[in-house]
């Protein structure tokens, strides 16, 4: 039977209805948040390493191709 208050409840309340009561219901959300945070940190590190690599090698770029390559990297 559909819940008549589903559409009028805030998302947090509906989530708790789906996940279940207590710590067991929210543990998966906390674990998911930790995994997303770790992924974001990894992406930041990769971006920093890429920028450092581009800066270190940009000195050797010459001509139109070098300018185009440098412009492409700074656009990221």
Phi, psi of 52 (to 5 degrees): -65, -45
In a domain, residue 11? The reply is no
pTM summary value: 0.57
Count of Cβ atoms closer than 10 Å to residue 16 Cβ: 15
DSSP 5: T
Domain count, the chain: 1
Predicted confidence at residue 28, as pLDDT, reads 80
68 belongs to a structural domain: yes
Q: What is the mean pLDDT of the chain?
A: 83
Residue 16 lies in a domain: no
**Residue for token digits 């039977």?**
1
pLDDT band at 17, cuts 50/70/90?
A: confident
Inside any domain, residue 21: no
**Which residues constitute the domain of residue 55?**
26-74
């Amino acid at each position: 039977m559909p819940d008549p208050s589903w559409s009028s409840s805030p998302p947090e309340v509906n989530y708790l209805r789906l996940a279940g009561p207590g710590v067991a219901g929210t543990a998966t959300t906390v674990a998911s948040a930790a995994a997303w945070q770790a992924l974001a940190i990894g992406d930041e590190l990769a971006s920093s390493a890429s920028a450092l690599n581009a800066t270190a090698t940009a000195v050797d770029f010459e001509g139109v191709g070098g300018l185009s390559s440098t412009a492409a990297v700074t656009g990221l």
